Amino acid sequence: MHSKQFALTPRPLEMPFLIILLLIAPTSSAKESKFQNLNISLTQKVDNEGFHRELKWLLERGPTTFDCKLAIQLNVGPEMYLNPDQIADLNRLRHLSVLIDGEVDIETPAHLSTRHIAYIYVPPFEERVSLNIPFHLRYQRAQISGGYGKVIVNKPSVLALCPQSCARSEVKAPCDISNRILCKWNNVSYQALFDEVELLVPVGDLDDYPLVSIVTLLLGCAGCIYTLSVLSTTPL
């Protein structure tokens, strides 16, 4: 019995082959290896204060030879918006290449607004590229106690169009800014070098409401009286 087991132990010559087998086995069984790894990382910062902000992204990629087109998809919740006119200007000046999918009403407060999706098409780049996207916060409905409302900036998705599949999930999204054709993009996993961003918006105080109404009414009356008095004293 024992002698048989000894016979199974590898001879010195077989050792290198065994080691190579062991090195190959775990990776070939992992599902990930079917997809090329683009080694993408994204840093995100939110600049400026108040209602007018800017998203600052730094997109980096590893030294891959793969020729992929990249886009960032951002789900813009009802508490914020991208201004279509401002985006159109940035597109025209070739500072950015952004497509807004969905209707954007820049006047409505958060609770009367809908979400939209922004596709930010990344220009060709070597190792890293920075993208600055201006966005705006919406007024939120007044609360009893006033204070601050919270706005979560959704985590963006990085999409890639590559000659070869590079992610497990596919997303149908416009191929480019013209929004004429849909492409099957790969939803690429990336290293997020940032925490979830939560912004605060000052919210109106409902306790102030009666006072504000009375003052507004009085000012309106005063204006009327003044206008009437000017009109009645002006010789026709």
Ligand X SMILES: *[C@@H]1O[C@H](CO)[C@@H](O)[C@H](O)[C@H]1NC(C)=O
Is residue 167 within 8 Å of 185, Cβ to Cβ? no
CB-wise, 55 or 173, nearer to ligand X?
A: 173
| Least distance (Å) between residue 156 CB and ligand X | 9
* Residue 187 sits in the site that holds ligand X (CB under 6 A): yes
| Least distance (Å) between residue 73 CB and ligand X | 5
| Least distance (Å) between residue 60 CB and ligand X | 19
- Contact code string over 106-145 relative to ligand X, x by CB under 6 A: ----------------------------------------
Nearest to 158 by CA among 80, 66, 30, 68: 68
List CB contacts of 108: < 8 A, sequence separation 6 or more: 138
How many residues bind ligand X (CB under 6 A)? The answer is 5
* CA 102 – CA 180 distance, rounded (Å): 14
CB-wise, 52 or 184, nearer to ligand X?
A: 184
Residues 189-218 that bind ligand X (CB under 6 A): none
* Residue 41 sits in the site that holds ligand X (CB under 6 A): no
* Residue 97 sits in the site that holds ligand X (CB under 6 A): no
CB-wise, 175 or 203, nearer to ligand X?
A: 175
Q: According to CB under 6 A, which one of 36, 140, 157, 186 is a site residue for ligand X? A: 157
CB-wise, 43 or 86, nearer to ligand X?
A: 43
122 burial via Cβ count (<10 Å: 0-12, 13-18, 19+) = buried
Q: According to CB under 6 A, which one of 73, 113, 140, 186 is a site residue for ligand X? A: 73
The phi-psi region of residue 2 (left if phi > 0; otherwise alpha if psi is between -120 and 50; otherwise beta) is alpha
Q: According to CB under 6 A, which one of 58, 161, 171, 197 is a site residue for ligand X? A: 171
CB-wise, 73 or 113, nearer to ligand X?
A: 73
CB-wise, 131 or 203, nearer to ligand X?
A: 131
Q: What angle do CA 39, 65, 161 make, to 5 degrees?
A: 70
The contact set with ligand X (CB under 6 A) reads: 73, 157, 169, 171, 187
